[in-house]
Amino acid sequence: MILLVTPFVKAQQCAEVIEEATHEEAQVAGSLRQALTSLRAQDYSAVVLDQMLLESEPDESEVLLEHIGMAIPVQVNFAISKAERVVRELRAALQRRKKEVTLARQGAEQALRNELKGPVTALLLSCEMALQVPNLQDDAEIKMRAVYELAREVCNKLEPA
């Protein structure tokens, strides 16, 4: 869902153009106070902010930006921008966010892989050494093989896709 924050007269028409272009629901808040109420009640993928409104109410703007959560803020000057330009700016911001999220996820996955490789390898080696102990009881061997197989499974999942 997208939140459009502007007192602009044609805000609802702009919201409809945004909905059609992005296939996401768009809501309109006519003031920063209304926007803050909406942000507290709902999660948004993006918040399109009227630059004039931000500049005319800097204290409320700061409070609003603190409550924006994971939504991407997009500042637009509605006095000189048509709905098509707002859509272009919004699409570009959403694309950037999508790319950032993908890169962050890949980085987190790689960091987790790197962090777990050493301990999993050590676990596999310890299991192999324990299984080579002479006169190992059958129950202990069965359990050790189960641990070894689980460690192999984790090791396989740590391999990059």
* pLDDT tens digits, 22-58: 999 999 999 999 999 999 999 999 999 999 999 999 9
Whether residues 85 and 125 share a domain: the answer is no
Whether 86 contacts 2, CB under 8 Å: no
Last residue of a domain, one of 105, 121, 137: 105
Is residue 160 scored above 80 in pLDDT?
no
Counted domains in the chain: 2
* 156 band by pLDDT with thresholds 50, 70 and 90: confident
Both 90 and 119 in a single domain?
no
Q: Residue 68: its pLDDT value, please? A: 93
Q: Are residues 67 and 111 in the same domain?
A: no
Query: Which of residues 65, 87, 105 is at a domain's end?
Result: 105
Confidence of residue 159 (pLDDT cuts 50, 70, 90): confident
Asked if the model's pLDDT at residue 134 lies above 70, the reply is yes
Query: Same domain, yes or no, for 64 and 128?
Result: no
Domain shared by 42 and 90, yes or no: yes
Residues 15 and 31 in one domain: yes
CB 8 within 8 A of CB 14: yes
From 60, 83, 105, the end of a domain falls on 105
Residues 16 and 80 occupy one common structural domain: yes
Burial readout 83-100 (b: 16 or more C-beta within 10 A, e: otherwise): beebbebbeebbeebeee
Q: Are residues 41 and 54 in the same domain?
A: yes
Domain containing residue 72: CATH number: 3.40.50.2300
43: closest CA among 74, 15, 60, 67?
Answer: 67
88 and 17 in one domain?
A: yes
The parent domain of residue 134 ranges over 106-158
User: Are residues 128 and 152 located together in one domain of the fold?
Assistant: yes
**Are 119 and 76 members of one domain?**
no
Percent of the chain with pLDDT strictly greater than 90: 77
pLDDT (0 to 100) of residue 123: 92
Same domain for 47 and 30: yes
What is the C-alpha to C-alpha distance for residues 120 and 109, in angstroms, rounded to an integer? 16
Cβ within 8 Å of residue 86, ≥6 positions away: 14, 17, 18, 48, 76, 78
